Structure 1
Amino acid sequence: MAIEFKLPEVSEGVKTADVAEILVSEGDMIEAGQVVVEVETEKAVAPVECPHAGRVAKVHVSQGDSVSIGATLLTIEATSDAKDSSRGHKPSSPNGTKTSAPASGDPAEGAGGEEGVAVEPEPGSEKQSSNAKPSSTSAAPSPRFEMEEAKGPNGRPPVPAAPSVRRLARELGIDLYQVQGSGSGGRVTAEDVHAFAEDGAAEPTGTGIAIAGGGRGGAMAPAARGDIAPMAAPQLPDFSQYGPITRQKMNKVARTSAAHLAYAWATIPHVTQHDFADITDLEASRKAFMAGAGAKGPKITMTAIMVKAVVNALKQHPGFNSSIDLGSGEIVLKDYYHIGIAVDTEAGLVVPVIRDADRKTILQIAVELTEMAGKARDRKLQMSDMQGGTFTITNLGGIGGSSFTPIVNYPEVAILGMSRSQSQLKLQDGQVVERMMLPLSLSYDHRVINGADAARFITTLSGSLSDFMRLLVST
């Protein structure tokens, strides 16, 4: 029997994925649970396991293809064991013989497809009712989230939508009951919410702020989709009339980054505060520690030190560790400290997160930074590794530059940029001395943070960097 193995739901809210690598070839024998392809979803590469055993009769996709959830990846000539496992256990009659499959109502072999081909149900399709008879064939893996059972306002049933879509609607001040869902069974998607906002139909919910029009040529739209949407920009000229050109297809990481950055820049009123932190004594202490007690331990980098210093500043200035909820007109202050670290890879920019940085020492953070950077460059990060950040640090000091303007990593409200340290002559106690100065660039959301707040934050941060040993032992 031939089985069509389709791309299952790999992450909540993801509708398409790029085929990063195909790990099997036509004619290969595979086991149930074997990883057959790797797909790129937003900023992570996810392995896809096939629940069927047998021979790969046909590979329907190629590396680099963009495929939708539910698209056929492989056709598999199943072995007898695979047939039994894919059909599920059939109840036996009292005399020990197997019962026949229902004539209708269940997805039987060959139904709706070619003869002898078992077609898997589409991911996200409606589930069987509790009193329905068991199917003779197995169903596709259930989605990773279920409909909320709670009643909505005024006793109305909740709008069918994923939690991420509900959160997006709250942030944009949109009443989901006003949005027409385009998904299966009327499910409201992120695209539906953005389209509603762009049409200027969004109304304030509670004390929230109304979103009028799309603004910026619809640049807001890609925020939750993870892909670039068509933007209302002038059509590009035909550059080939001026000389030779080469077009390069953007990978999933680049498309996701472009969409996210465009959304953040279009919606967040950015201000960047530039300053210098004197790290002369800190750098001397760091080098002495690495040459002595820390010689056999992990490498203590300026980024690892900065994580601890930032956490100390966030505790004293909690507004920087928050998000703005436009739907409710509230600032969400977070009592946890998950610090994102921007990592430059060949595939593009990714931001893995160090969780609970306030509970870790610099040595523990240094170890985790090394592991995260390796996973990022090997494209082994999971989506969970890049979610939940409350503040981001980006360090360009290893490359160069004296300052830059980092873009806030939405839905955070601030990001710290570090440039290359430089020696400067300073007047200290009437004497000209040479000091090592670290350029800092703090970008923030002006809806939440004022300039005076930013100046205080930088001052606190610079003060924390003056005592390396205290940062080293603190948790």
Structure 2
Amino acid sequence: MAHEFKLPELGENIETGDVAKVLVSPGDVLKKDQPVLELETDKAVVEIPSTVSGKVKELRVQKGDQVTIGQVILTLEEEGEEAPTPKAEPKAEEKSKALEEEAAVEESKQPVPEVSSMEASTQARPEREVAPAPEAVAPVPATPSVRRLARELGVDIHQVPGSGPGGRISVDDVKHYVRDLVSQRGTPLAPEAISPAGPSLPLPPFEKWGAVEREPMSKVRRKTTEQMLQAWTIPHVTQHDQADITRLEQDRKRFAKRVEQAGGKLTLTAIALKVVAAALRTFPRFNTSVDLSTQELVYKQYYHIGVAVDTAHGLLVPVIREVDQKNITQLAAELTALGEKARSRKLSPEEMAGGTFTITNLGGLGGTHFTPIINWPEVAILGISRAKMTPLYMEGEFQPRLLLPLSLSYDHRVIDGADAVRFLRWVVEALEDPLLLSLEG
């Protein structure tokens, strides 16, 4: 008896992925829990184990394909006793069938009469984000792809005025409706609506002027693009400063061996984690998120700090949790382990979620100062550049001092410039005199 193996649930808010590698071939004897493919999600590559056993009859996907939850990956022929059908399969099958039936019904009802323009105008000004319309509401003329876009943007499709024949709703109608909401309330836009030109605007014919080569954007790069577009809606300001870490560097080298024995590397980033966590306790507004829909600041009572990691596959930001409750040795060991997982693409989505502040260190590559982009929905990010030995006039003479450039970008809707200066000066003084941490802690 042939069985279908479908892509299982991968985690919260994960609906699709790109096939990075197929690990089985037709004719292979597959055991339960054996990995069948590697799937690239937004920021990680995960192995998908089989929930059934048997002989692979047919592969339905190949490297580079985009697959969705519930999609058939392969079919199997049972060898010997029939393997039990996974419990989750009936739900996934029923869900897929229901979606297909819903799409068929929607397509068959395209010429449905639309409400008047006056009614549509009234619907376009809700007091709050309206929940999906109840079943009793008459269907609206919109294709499944337009409905999906509305869901992704958090919009009730029943409230979008249609500009097409018979009030038919298009992709542009949804985007215009979202932009109107943003202009009225200041609600952050989803990535699809942020692009000034819109994703449908064609590029110039580059081939007209010479040879070109196209490369598909990876899942990581596509997610980075979305995140940067979302972040760029934040009014950024960057404050620069520098810390004299001459003494700190001496101590770092002195204790490096001890930390290595514990499985970590005593890097400047590991030390900065501890300093920043203490600064966030002193300046709690930097550990918030702004909720424009309710006009509130969300103060987090925990300190989970993300650290940007440069990998061959793109920028990843693993999150170290409860930084304030760990010593520098523990932070160094955890930072080393997460960095290795990031570079080998083994980070789980959960390991990159829940951050309250981010640190990005480009000092290993060079440069002086830069303007880091805030990792939305956070309100600030600290950038670290390369330390440089500089002659500094002290005590009546020039002395060689190791100066570390720091760059703090912050959300000016939440944080005033004076507070940003105070925060960054606190970080500088803590790096220059670690005793300050003990006094403040």
Equivalent position to 2:191, from 216, 220, 230: 220
Could you tell me how far apart the structure 2 residues matched to 1:25 and 1:48 are? 15
- 1:240-277 superposed Cα distances (whole Å, 9 cap, x missing partner): 22222111111100000011111111x21111111111
> 1:296–1:34: structure 2 CA closer, same or farther, 3 Å change rule?
closer
1:28 aligns to 2:28 (yes or no): yes
1:394 to 344, 351, 360: 360
Which deviations, in whole Å up to 9, do the C-alpha atoms of 1:291-320 show, x marking residues without a partner?
A: 6x5564432000000000101111110011
Q: Distance in 1 between matches of 2:438 and 2:30?
A: 50
Q: Aligned to 1:366, what secondary structure does the other structure show?
A: helix
Q: Which amino acid aligns with 1:322?
A: T
Cα deviation digits, residues 425-453 of structure 1 (max 9, x gap): 21112211121111111111111011111
CA, structure 1 residues 44+320, in 2 after alignment: closer, same or farther (shift >3 Å)?
Answer: same
Partner of 1:253: 220
**Counterparts of 1:474 and 1:82 in 2: how far apart (Å)?**
65
Identity %: 44
Partner residue of 1:175 out of 125, 130, 142: 130
What is the CA–CA distance in structure 1 between the aligned matches of 2:51 and 2:178, rounded to whole Å?
45
For 1:193, the equivalent position in structure 2 comes to 155
Name which of 238, 241, 264 aligns with 2:205: 238
Matched residues in 2 for 1:341 and 1:277: separation?
20
1:134-155 C-alpha deviation (Å, 9 max, x unpaired): xxxxxxxxxxxxxxxxxxxxxx
Q: Does 1:210 align with 2:189?
A: no
| Match status 1:46 vs 2:67 | no
Aligned pairs for 1:57-456 within 5 A: 57-83=57-83, 85-86=84-85, 121-122=93-94, 174-177=129-132, 189-193=151-155, 198-200=175-177, 210-211=185-186, 220-221=191-192, 231=198, 234-265=201-232, 267-290=233-256, 293-294=258-259, 296-297=261-262, 298-456=264-422
Q: How far has the Cα of 1:239 moved from its partner? A: 1.4
Letter in 1 for 2:47: P
From the superposition, tell whether residues 362 and 13 of structure 1 become closer, same or farther in structure 2 (CA, over 3 Å).
same
Partners in 1 of 2:156 and 2:247 — Cα distance? 50
User: How far off its partner does 1:209 sit?
Assistant: 6.7
Asked if structure 1 preserves the Cα contact closer than 8 Å seen for 2:187 and 2:293, the reply is: no
Contact 2:259 2:329 in 1 (8 A): no
Q: Which residue of 2 aligns with 1:55?
A: 55
Contact 1:353-1:385 within 8 A present in 2 as well: yes
For the structure 1 residues 428 and 122, does the alpha-carbon distance in structure 2 shift closer, same or farther, using more than 3 Å as the test?
farther
The residue matched to 1:193 in structure 2 has which SS? coil
Match in the other structure for 2:109: none
Does the aligned pair in 2 maintain the 1:221–1:263 contact within 8 Å?
Answer: no
Secondary structure at the counterpart of residue 338 of structure 2: helix
Tell me by how many angstroms 1:200 deviates: 3.3
Kindly indicate whether the alpha-carbon contact (under 8 Å) linking 1:323 and 1:412 is maintained by their aligned counterparts in 2.
yes
- Does the CA contact (< 8 Å) of 2:132 and 2:156 recur in 1? no
Deviations 1:107-144 (A, max 9, x none): 8xxxxxxxxxxx96155777xxxxxxxxxxxxxxxxxx
Task: Report the AA paired with residue 129 of structure 2.
Answer: I
Change (3 A) 1:427 1:194: farther
The change in CA–CA distance for 1:282 and 1:213 in structure 2 (over 3 A counts) is closer
Quote the residue 2:12 is aligned against.
12
CA distance in 1, matches of 2:381, 2:128: 25
8 Å Cα contact 2:20-2:63 kept in structure 1? yes
Residue by residue over 1:402-442, the C-alpha shift from the partner in whole angstroms, topping out at 9 and shown as x without a partner, is: 11111100110111111111122211122111211111111
Aligned-pair CA distance for 1:387: 0.4
After TM superposition, the score normalised by the length of structure 2 is 0.79
* Residue type at the aligned position of 2:221: A
Question: Structure 1, residues 155-195: CA drift from partner, whole Å, max 9, x if none?
Answer: xxxxxxxxxxxxxxxxx9633357989989x9983245398
- Tell me how far apart the structure 2 counterparts of residues 411 and 87 of structure 1 sit (CA, whole Å): 38
Q: What TM-score, normalized to structure 1?
A: 0.74
Residue pair 1:52, 1:78 contacting (<8 A) in 2 also: no
What is the identity, as a one-letter code, of the residue corresponding to 2:305? I
Q: Which range moved further: 306-315 or 418-427?
A: 418-427
Q: Supply the AA of the counterpart residue of 1:175.
A: V
* Alpha-carbon separation, structure 2, partners of 1:11 and 1:389: 18
C-alpha distance in 1 between matches for 2:364 and 2:235: 29
Q: Is the 8 A contact 1:198 1:212 kept in 2?
A: no
Question: Aligned AA for 1:341?
Answer: V
CA distance in 2, matches of 1:33, 1:473: 53
- TM-aligned CA distance change 1:469 to 1:58, over 3 Å: farther
